[in-house]
Amino acid sequence: MRKGAKPHEVRKNEILDRAQQIFFQKGYDETTVQEVIDTVGIAKGTFYHYFPSKEELLEGVILRYAKRLVQEVNERTKNLSGNAIEKINAFCQLSSEIKLRELNPQVAMALLQAYCDQKNILLRYKLTEKTVELLKPIFEEFIKEGAKEGALSPVSVEGLAEFLMRVQAILGEELYRILLRIQKGQGGARLLKEFYLFYEGVLERLLGAPPGSLKLFSEESLERFAEELRKEKNVNESH
C-alpha cells in the first residue's frame, strides 16, 4: 500500500458513504460519478479502481446495507427459542427495529422523504430485491418449522417465504409514508395501530396462523420513533 494511502476497505466505505448520501438527496439518475469523486476528494482513476461504473456503485451501496442488515438479523436470531410463530415475531420485530435505528430522528424526515420519492424508485427496487434474496432463507426455515409443528397451515411452503418478504417490503414502504404523515402532524398512535392490525392480519391468513398470533412490530418502539419525529418537527419550526 502506498505510504499515506487509506486501506482498501476504508476508502471503499468512504466512497459508499458519500454515494449513499448523494443518492438519497438527489436520486440515482440525477447523481453523477463526478459529484461523488469531488465529494470524496479522490482522483477519477481511484474511483474507477473501486467501481467500474455508476451502476456498480449503486450495487455496492445496496449490497452493503443489505449485508449489514442480514448479518445482524442472523446473529440475533440464530439462538432464538420458542415455537415458529414466536421466532417469526422476533425476526420481523428485529428487522424493523434495525431499520428504524438506522433512521436517526435528527435526519429521519430527509431520509424518509428521499426513500419515498419517486426519483429513488430504482434505489428502492434494488434494495428490496437484495434484502429479499438474503433474508428469504431465514424466513423459509421458520415457515417449514411452523408447518412441521402444526402451528402454521401455509397454502404452500415453497415460494411463500419470498412472497411474504415482498409483501413485507411493500407494507414497509407504506409504514414509512405513515411515519411521514405523523411527522407532519397528520396522525398518531391510532394510525400506527390500524396499520399493525392490517399488516399482521394479511400475513396470518397467508401463513395459516391463528388470528392475533403475529406481532410483527414493536408498537412501543414505533410509537416512540413517531414521537421523536414530532419533536424534531417542533424543534425545526421553532428555529
| Same domain, residue pair 13 and 104 | no
93: in domain: yes
**Domain, as residue range, for 170:** 62-238
| Closest among 46, 85, 102, 80 to 212, alpha carbons compared | 85
- Write down the pLDDT at residue 107: 47
| Same domain, residue pair 10 and 66 | no
| Same domain, residue pair 81 and 143 | yes
What are the pLDDT digits (tens) for 154-196?
Answer: 877 778 888 888 887 777 777 777 777 776 777 666 777 787 7
| Same domain, residue pair 91 and 204 | yes
What are the pLDDT digits (tens) for 62-106?
Answer: 888 778 877 877 777 777 788 899 888 888 777 767 666 655 554
| Closest among 188, 210, 214, 212 to 96, alpha carbons compared | 214
Q: How many domains is the chain partitioned into structurally? A: 2
| Same domain, residue pair 148 and 37 | no
57: in domain: no
Stretch among 18-27, 54-63, 100-109, 171-180 having the lowest mean pLDDT: 100-109
The answer to whether residues 19 and 36 touch, using CB atoms and an 8 Å cutoff, is: yes
| Same domain, residue pair 96 and 20 | no
CATH assignment of the domain containing 9: 1.10.10.60
Q: Give Cβ neighbours of residue 177 (< 8 Å, ≥ 6 apart).
A: 116
* pTM, 2 dp: 0.67
157: in domain: yes
And the C-alpha cell for 162?
419470498
| Same domain, residue pair 108 and 222 | yes
